[in-house]
Amino acid sequence: MDFSKLQQRGSVEWRLPATGRMRVPGVILASRDLVAAMDDKVLEQIANVAGLPGIVAAAYAMPDAHWGYGFPIGGVAAFDAADGGVVSAGGVGFDISCGVRTLHTGLKRADLEGAKLRLADLLYARIPAGLGSVGGLRLSAGGMEAMLMGGARWAVGEGYGAIADLTHIEDSGCAAGADPGAVSDQAKRRQRDEMGTLGSGNHYLELQVVAELFDQAAAHDYGLAVDDVVVSIHCGSRGLGHQIGTDYLREMVLAAPAAGILLPDRELACAPLASALGRRYLGAMRAAINCALANRQILTQLTRDAFAEVFPGSALTLLYDVSHNTCKEETHRVDGLSRRLFVHRKGATRAFGPGHPELPAGYRRAGQPVLIGGSMGTASYILAGRAGEGERAFGSACHGAGWAMSRHEATRRWQGRAVIDELAGRGILIRSPSSRGVAEEAPLAYKDVGAVVDAANLAGLAVKVARLAPLVCVKG
DNA sequence: ATGTGC
């Protein structure tokens, strides 16, 4: 990273002043070490985002930021529709509404002694994982429409999970304003057989143990104690979201000149929020959010069924479910004024603070659970949102460890088998259909997740609550 | 991320 362009403001804030076509400054919220490890391309992408029409306050990068498609991954940017603001398909990302949900199992570490291996094999047998994997469900045209409108609420109605789950999901499990008519037939076709599947890449289902608590009061409110076993599911909207991203990116590139939008990078393709194209994309993207929420809801039921085979009578309850690839219409205070903004979070987690009316009653005191997936074999974290007065980055935080290198570089350095054996030696069981996928996801291919959450904590984005250590990981 | 690729 070229520090010469950055102005340091405190230990974890770096400002890229607005120059040239930038309308607002860029702000990186990370430690010096994390910034030093970031590619210069991140700076270039932040500057490009800062030049988009209608952007408000600043283009932000979270501590885990790295360069992505158009926008950096770990990027946050908000736009005002009344000020010519835009929505960008690249600013949401291809895996629309990719996110994490964490479930309490009601079990302690000691309960797993002797059952871990069986549970690993059972979860791997029950959870469809890998590229092109299909689920046990085939959606009819009507079923597809209902799923895209209803999200996790639809899934509960179909028998996956309980109504009580819904209060612990962002948007109560259903994004409003979804428009299945704005989703291409091809996107729907790709999704027809893929409900209740994990996918590939960095997606996983992980059995974890609470290894350390940092904030007793918040941990209490979240129902977490040391040695508790939890399950975390990381996945998104599969082929449907990917196809929507592909479809609209192409359309936005073609429509940009007529909309008077000059693109410094075609990957930044966007459309005015006030345009028909912008509205159609929002409708399709919200349908993809519902697809991801329904998908994680189905996977939750498959997980419960697997647990019931090993631990009859076990009850898995939902701690929280939050996405990290979205564009959401939200109210934020900017310079003392309350404004409706369209907040793009790409590889960034919503992190609403204490008292926010959208949080379930039990979490109003602590703030929203912020679920941070680490890399395979390292730690994951649960943080509590701190957004409020003086908030930065529109109530957002980091989403994971963030890549330290390309997938190609990772496969050059490691072999899947060796990674699995090394982790097995440390008592961490990996189950995956893809040896190459495991190599790409080797722990050292990622940044140090502990350093990332420490930076998020220092920057005031979210407060550390718990560290989770992996026990079993089903990888896509 | 992805029926892994213009």
Give the tens place of pLDDT for each residue, A162-183.
999 999 999 999 999 999 999 9
Sign, CA dihedral A388-A450-A92-A270, equals positive
CA A453, C1' B3: Å apart? Answer: 36
* Mean of pLDDT values over A79-101: 97
Cβ-Cβ contacts under 8 Å for A408 (sequence gap 6 or more): none
Q: What is the pLDDT of residue A293?
A: 98
Q: pLDDT band at A285, cuts 50/70/90?
A: very high
CA A36, C1' B1: Å apart? Answer: 26
Q: What is the pLDDT of residue A101?
A: 98
CB A45 within 8 A of CB A59: no
Bases in strand B with any atom closer than 7 Å to a protein CB: 1-4
* Mean of pLDDT values over A36-64: 96
Residue A102 structure tokens: 């964490």
CB A375 within 8 A of CB A430: no
Q: pLDDT band at A281, cuts 50/70/90?
A: very high
- Give the nucleotide nearest to A203 (CA→C1'): B1
What is the spatial distance between Cα A476 and Cα A131, in angstroms, rounded to a whole number?
Answer: 7
Give percent of chain A above pLDDT 70.
Answer: 100
Average pLDDT, chain A: 96
pTM comes to: 0.98
Instruction: Count CB neighbours of A331 within 10 A.
Output: 8
Q: pLDDT band at A390, cuts 50/70/90?
A: confident
CA A261, C1' B5: Å apart? Answer: 29
Q: pLDDT band at A23, cuts 50/70/90?
A: very high
Q: pLDDT band at A43, cuts 50/70/90?
A: very high
Domains of chain A: 3-83+96-404+446-475 (3.90.1860.10)
* Mean of pLDDT values over A130-155: 96
